[in-house]
Amino acid sequence: MTFSVSHPEVRETVRRALEEDIGTGDITSRYTVPADRMASGAFIAREQMVVAGSELLPLIYEIRGGADQIAIEKPSGSPARDGEVIARVHGHARALLECERVALNFLQRLSGVATLAKRYADAVAGTKCKVLDTRKTTPGLRRLEKMAAAAGGVTNHRMGLFDAILIKNNHITAAGGVTAALVDAHAAGVPVEIEVSTRAELEEALAGGATRLLLDNLAPAEAAEWIRYIGGRASVELSGGITVETVRAYAEAGADFVSAGAITHSAVAVDMNFRLQWQ
């Protein structure tokens, strides 16, 4: 997924963020900054990071107004070192100040996701394994966080419950078994994956036409044993508490995919600031 601001969800997310912060207006700037004052500002990295979300800046200033020049120097997916400029803006000082926190909130959060994603992707370099993100995202920010994860180099898993079938243990219980869960799934016309917990479930899933299996909460050695037994009869995804430190071992166990919720639910916002100069 490339970083695009054209989707209506993205525009609405930015609009709500601006409304939440600015409300009826920035009274600090209104009472301290002359209305006709022009200024320039720069978003600056304060640590090494992978940038994500800089494409939101034109949208932020378009919705709020007041900026006449925006230059993105680090598009999403770009590395940035401490002290490097990510983007520059010019316009009415009041408008730049009004948008400062919303812009930084998006950039810091999304760049944090991209930076952690890059660490995961780098950890499995040279293996056949792809790292996947998950649905463990901040409510309301899924599309943006998945864009950020992709900017960091991992592969997006399903966007939601609507675009792929992932049959987990609770679905199997509710359906009445592996075969019952699979019987109509392939008719849906979307990718189908099923979680298996025992060898019996595995054989039943394969007999039912499963081509992608999910194995959860195994140690790397256990995962390798399962993957050898599967022997290429289906592709395999591993999940369950997989960290940057352990992901390489899971990849080397032979997994086709490794999913890590931590990429979005545990990413730490990066350090970045905004510096204003008035004219």
Residues annotated as part of the active site: 101, 136, 168, 195, 216
Angle of helix 199-207 versus helix 220-230 axis, rounded to 10: 40
Distances (CA, A) of 251 to 35, 126, 129: 57, 10, 5
Helix (H), strand (E) at residue 251: helix 247-252
Phi, psi of 137 (to 5 degrees): -115, 165
Beta-sheet strands, E only, within the chain:
38-45, 49-50, 67-72, 79-80, 85-92, 130-132, 165-167, 192-195, 212-216, 235-239, 257-259, 272-278
Strands 272-278 and 257-259: unpaired
* Token output for 118: 């890059």
242, 116 in Cβ contact below 8 A?
no
**Main-chain phi, psi angles of 162, to 5 degrees:** -100, -15
